[in-house]
Structure formats: structure tokens, C-alpha cells
A and B are shown apart, each in its own frame.
Chain A
Amino acid sequence: MAEQKVEFELVSPEKLLLSQAVDMVVVPGGDGDFGVLPRHAPMISTVRPGVISVYEERRAVSQRLFVSGGFAEVTPERCTVLAVEAEPLEEIDRAATEQALKNAREDVADAKSEHDKAVAAKRVNVLEAKLDALSRAN
């Protein structure tokens, strides 16, 4: 059988970020990371803040992208990730992220309503995951 690939697509509300055939992708699912190889069983999952690793050319990670959450749809031929926000790991500015995290933490402390607090706390979560991803990559 000819070598199969997964059609991987990463879309954010603004645009289609990535669309290519790859060997494997590892997606940070809501219940833990999962890898998608060709002929994966159909599945729909939530995505938690974390890093998507794209594998091309057998076992070599070709791209790492940070996503701040979203959804993934997997079919035997395709893997589609609907991200809230996404950016390549190497493009993340560490200092800016740390600053944003600090601000977000202050927002949690200053939040007046339950809703504001929840929003800010979510933001903190995302940013912590982003920093975590950064320190792990380096």
C-alpha cells in the first residue's frame, strides 16, 4: 500500500493557518494528548491550551504551534483543528507573554464580577500553558 498521509488543517477564525499533508500530528486534547496517524478512527475532541506538533518525514518534528484551545475533528483521512488562537512556537515573544501573564493575574485579582474573573482566569491558564510550552521547547 502506498504511503498514506494525514491531511492536516489548522484554522483560526481569521484564516486558514496551515493545510498540508503530514505523517502525523500530535494534538493536545482535552483529555490528554493524542497522535493522529492515517486511518485514525473518526473522533471529535476538545483541545486544551498546548502545543500541536506536526511530524513530516518520519519521526521528525517539522513544526510546533501553540494553540490556546479549540476543537479537533479527526477522520481517517483528515485532521482539522479549529483553534481559538494559534501561532508558531518560534514566533512567540517570551517577554511579552510574561507581561501578559502578569496583567492577566492582576485582572483575576481585580475582577469585579464572577464572569470577569472566569474570563481572566482562563486567560491566565492559556498564558501559563504558553510559557510552559516555551520553556519545554528550549
Chain B
Amino acid sequence: MASLKELRSRIASVKSTQKITSAMKMVAAAKLKRAQEQAEASRPYAARMARMLGSLASGSRGGQGPKLLSGTGKQDVHLLVVATADRGLCGAFNANIAREARRDIERLKAEGKTVKVLCIGRKGRDALRRGHADVIIDTLEDVSKPRPSFEKSDEIAQRLLAMYDEGEFDVCTLYYAQFKSAISQIVTRQQLVPFAAPEAEATGDEAQAVENKGMVYDYEPDEETILAELLPRNLAVQVFNALLENNAGEQGARMTAMDNATRNAGEMNKKLTLLYNRTRQAAITKELIEIVSAKEAM
């Protein structure tokens, strides 16, 4: 059995861990509120952008269209943009995204495709480096610091566009976790290039989608010009959206994880204290018996 001194120091360490986790939980909760507001505020833009692109894309189908819309005609080189958090201690948040990406890397490799990975966030890189270090072309760190900004997302989008123009990939997919609530983030796989119209349901209003189907738009100045501007912009918006969702998701996941940790520490503390008191009592009883029996022997 552990000695009293050992138990005392265990209890002290569990208590201080509990203090740290509960502080982290509080911080995450405060950050979550902001991040969530930001993520929700950006949703209308992304949704309307998608709607607009959807109607444009369906209108110009059959025609040649820009390369971003129609693709390169090949599917040989896949670029996976894996957006995760920079920091850990947020439950399975990073692991879930990384697992999804890894599964796809393995699948694509098995199909004989060339895979390239661009990591946004340190934790994704750390997870994928084991086993797939050869395919990671770069890692962007601290993108969402102090908070996700549209400029940063635009930079990432510009970089993707430059790579696409150079013919460095054929298909680009973005991995991130969509924020549902503090306890649920859904790993989402979104194809960025070539543009894939999201289902009507994803934009939130089905009635709208139906209404839009029958509508024929006038384009000013013309379809190609608009598409040429809209498509790169959409890329930046999607990246921005992913960063925001991730940011909110990360804080949510951290809050939940730290809440659990705090609770577990409390439980452990209770158990250890009980054990400590028992041991103490046992020691006292033992001493008493020793004294009494010593007396009797005299």
C-alpha cells in the first residue's frame, strides 16, 4: 500500500491538474462564444455565394467554362488541404480530421494517384507525418491567430490558385470540422477544385433552391467574366469558412474535453482522499494496538 506521504503528494498533484483543466475550460468557453458568433455570422455569405455559383454553374453547363469549374480533365494528382487546430488538448478534434484525411490518402495511394497534402495547422501535420511524411508539401501554422481573418484565407486561396495554374494538381479537397455544437463537430470533406455545387440542403433553404431552378439570369457583364471573378473568390470564402468552423469547433471540443478532465480529476481526488483517510486510520489503529499489546505484555 502506498505510504501516506505518497498519497498526499498524489492528491496535491491531482488537485493542481484540476485547477488547470478547469481554467482551460473557462477560457475555451469564453473563446467559443466569440468563435461561434463569428462562424455563424459568416455562414450567410458562404451560403449565398454557393447559391450564386450553383445557378451560374448549372447555367453554363455544357460549355467550356473556366478551368476552375470544369477541371483539368484529369484526376491524377490530388491535393488534400487538411485544416486542423494548432494546439492539442481538445479531445479527438484533431485526430478525427486527421483520420479522415489519412484514410483518403491511403485510398488514393492505393488507386495509384499522386497525393499531395497541404496542412493548415500544426496538429494535422503532426498526425499525418507519421506514415505520410513524404506527401506533405507544406504546413501553414498559426493561421487562425489571433482569429481567422479573410486576408489570410485569401492568401491561402491565392496560393492554391497559383499551384493550380502551374498544373500542380487536378483535384483539390478541403478537410475541416463543421461546428455543430460544443460536443459535436462533423468532419467535412469539401471539394474545392473543380467546383462542385453543394446540395441545396446544405445552403439551408430548399424552397429557395427550387425557386431558383426555373430562373434564367441575365449576366452583367457576361457569364465568363463573372465566373472568372467569382470562382477564385469562392475559394477564399470556402477556406475562410473552414477556418472559422474549425476555430469554433476547436474551442468547443476543448471545452468539452476539459470539462471531462475536470470531472475526472474530481473523482480521482475523491477516491484518493478516501484511500488516504483509510490508510491514516489504519496506521493509527495499528499504533494503538501496538501500544495496548505492549502494555499488556508488561
- Whose C-beta in chain B lies nearest to the C-beta of A119? B158
CA distance A100 to B220 in the complex (A): 31
Could you tell me which residues of chain A, from 33 to 75, have a CB within 8 Å of some CB in chain B?
34, 41-46, 71, 73, 75
Residues of A participating in the B interface, judged by any CB pair closer than 8 Å: 9, 11-16, 29-31, 34, 41-46, 71, 73, 75, 80, 82
Q: Is the interface of A mostly helix, strand, loop or mixed?
A: strand
Q: Sample 9 A-B pairs with CB under 8 A, ordered by A number.
A: A13-B42, A14-B42, A29-B220, A30-B220, A30-B225, A31-B220, A44-B220, A46-B221, A73-B52
Select A71's contact among B38, B44, B52, B236, beta carbons within 8 Å.
Answer: B52
CB distance from A79 to the nearest CB of B (A): 11
Stretch at the interface among B76-84, B124-132, B211-219: B211-219
CB distance from A28 to the nearest CB of B (A): 12
Residues in chain A near residue B212, CB distance under 8 A: 75
- Whose C-beta in chain B lies nearest to the C-beta of A75? B215
CB distance from A104 to the nearest CB of B (A): 15
Please state if B41 and A16 are interface contacts (CB–CB under 8 Å).
Answer: yes
CA distance A13 to B237 in the complex (A): 7
CA distance A84 to B240 in the complex (A): 13
CA distance A79 to B217 in the complex (A): 13
Could you tell me which residues of chain B, from 31 to 85, have a CB within 8 Å of some CB in chain A?
38, 41-42, 44-45, 48-49, 51-52, 55-56
CB distance from B237 to the nearest CB of A (A): 6
| Interface flags, B223-255, vs A, CB<8A=1, else 0 | 001100110010011001000000000000000
CA distance A43 to B141 in the complex (A): 41
Please state if A15 and B221 are interface contacts (CB–CB under 8 Å).
Answer: no
Please state if B220 and A45 are interface contacts (CB–CB under 8 Å).
Answer: yes
Please state if B219 and A43 are interface contacts (CB–CB under 8 Å).
Answer: yes
- Whose C-beta in chain A lies nearest to the C-beta of B230? A71
Please state if A11 and B45 are interface contacts (CB–CB under 8 Å).
Answer: yes
Please state if B218 and A42 are interface contacts (CB–CB under 8 Å).
Answer: yes
Residues in chain A near residue B38, CB distance under 8 A: 14
CB distance from A77 to the nearest CB of B (A): 9
Residues in chain A near residue B150, CB distance under 8 A: 13-14
Beyond the given pairs A31-B221, A46-B221, 11 more chain A to chain B contacts, judged by CB atoms under 8 angstroms and listed by A's residue number, are A11-B48, A13-B42, A13-B45, A15-B41, A16-B45, A30-B220, A44-B55, A71-B230, A73-B52, A80-B52, A82-B45
